[in-house]
Chains A and B, each alone.
Chain A
Amino acid sequence: MPFREINSKMVEATVTPGQKMFSQRGAMLAYRGDVSFTPNITGGQGGLASMIGRRVANEATPLMTVEGNGTVMFGHGGHHIQVVQLTGDTLYVEADRLLAFDGTLHQGTMFMGSQGGVMGMVRGQVTGQGLFTTTLGGHGAVAVMAHGGVIELPITPGRPVHVDPQAYVAHHGDVRNKLSTALGWRDMVGRGSGEAFQLELSGSGAVYVQASEEKL
């Protein structure tokens, strides 16, 4: 367990020799010990191919590699931080919400269209998140940023959870997501309730929702 929450907006990570960590560039606040920060041109794991993949997918956030021996404190923009433990499952998260994660996790990019087909693509457009999202799989911990704290809602089969696309932060587990619309004639005449689009998540897992409808 490399992350320790100092308060709701700051986490402390322990790095030991031979163990890499990735974090958003510039998110380091303080460190103790002998730690080095190297900008990561490829923007994460994998070789050149993954880098091109991320560039094309516009999921390339400037990352840096953290190595050495000591403890590092991370925080960014006063946003609340949620630490998610992954035990073999996959976390789906927007690249710009990633604060730091273990080097042991595999990073990937997923095309939304592959989940939910055309509606998946529409979803990316509607939510302003683009057509791709970042996936992290394996065993380890991830620190995710959100505006105003996060609540975790469990998703169980037969009980789907609907989330406002702007308040959606991340999800993990075996979850299918699709965009559900509740567009009615009221929305057409400008008398909508502001809840015309929702993200419907079904399957089993959990979704993280932030207490705000503001993007980072």
Chain B
Amino acid sequence: MATFRLQGSKVLAVEMTGDAVRAKNGSMVAYDGQMAFKKMSGGGEGIRGMVTRRLTGEQMTMMEVKGQGTCYFADRASEINLVQLHGDKLYVESSNLLCTDGGLRTGTTFTGLRGGASGNGLFTTTVEGTGQAAITSDGTAVVLRVTPQYPLSVDPGAYIAHQGNLRQDFQSGVTFRTFLGEGGGEAFQIRFEGDGLVYVQPSERNTVGGDV
């Protein structure tokens, strides 16, 4: 199995011994040894996955990297976080997914109303299986634990990923003030309940909810 290691906070080094990883298209910055790069149509999910991705707009261009040696990945100087999966599922925005172990499965899932407000569309990408994955964030991400006693509300623009057994629902704090243009800029939140981890970045994407 490929080993993931962070070289600094912005470069991911993956050591491979003949196995494969999947990475965002064009994110390789350097490698030593022998490597082959191959674009995976539809994110390597077969015809069904390809069609789903086209329909849902949750597009993700990934490439398969296979070989022996060390391969270095980076994406526009964004911070990289490593996530270890033990048979559970990671939900991540496709634009934040940098690299996954070859043994992990990726797919798309419906997120409901949240997607519309976070500016990421109504669908999100899932990563499932056992192995490591690397996700990018704008600034160093914080990992927040959610327990049944302590639910968590997150700004849709700052949310990047979550894993574990979590239920999410969409919360709005729209009051009459919002309509007067006196909103606090925090009209929408995603509320997570259950047991798991949520990754939040210290930066907000431009969202519909951020304006009101």
* Chain A residues with a Cβ under 8 A of chain B: 147-149, 151, 153, 159-164, 167, 182, 186, 191-195, 207, 209-214
Contact = CB atoms under 8 A, between A and B. Distances in A.
Contacts of A211: 8, 10-11, 29, 74, 77
B86 interface: no
A193 B10 CA distance: 21
Interface stretch (B31-39, B48-56, B196-204): B31-39
Contacts of B63: 193-195
Interface residues of B, number: 28
A53 to B, nearest CB: 31
Given A182-B37, A193-B39, A151 B11 contact: yes
A73 B136 CA distance: 32
Given A195-B63, A209-B29, A213-B26, A162 B35 contact: yes
B30 A213 contact: no
B37 A149 contact: no
B124 interface: no
Given A162-B31, A164-B29, A191-B41, A214 B72 contact: no
A interface, by DSSP: helix, strand, loop or mixed?
loop
Nearest to B41: A191
Nearest to A191: B39
B interface, by DSSP: helix, strand, loop or mixed?
strand
A212 B172 CA distance: 37
A195 B37 contact: yes
Given A151-B7, A182-B37, A212 B30 contact: no
A162 B30 contact: yes
B68 to A, nearest CB: 11
B25 interface: yes
Contacts of B177: none
B166 interface: no
B25 A193 contact: yes
Given A193-B38, A193-B63, A213-B75, 15 more contacts: A147-B77, A151-B30, A159-B32, A161-B30, A161-B31, A167-B29, A191-B39, A195-B28, A207-B30, A210-B29, A210-B77, A212-B10, A213-B26, A213-B27, A214-B77
Contacts of A207: 30
Contacts of A148: 10, 74, 76-78
B76 A212 contact: yes
Contacts of B41: 191
Contacts of B35: 162
A164 B25 CA distance: 13
A195 B38 CA distance: 9
A126 to B, nearest CB: 14
Q: Kindly name the residue among A153, A160, A162 whose own CB sees the greatest number of chain B CB atoms within 10 A.
A: A162
Nearest to B36: A182
A160 B78 CA distance: 27
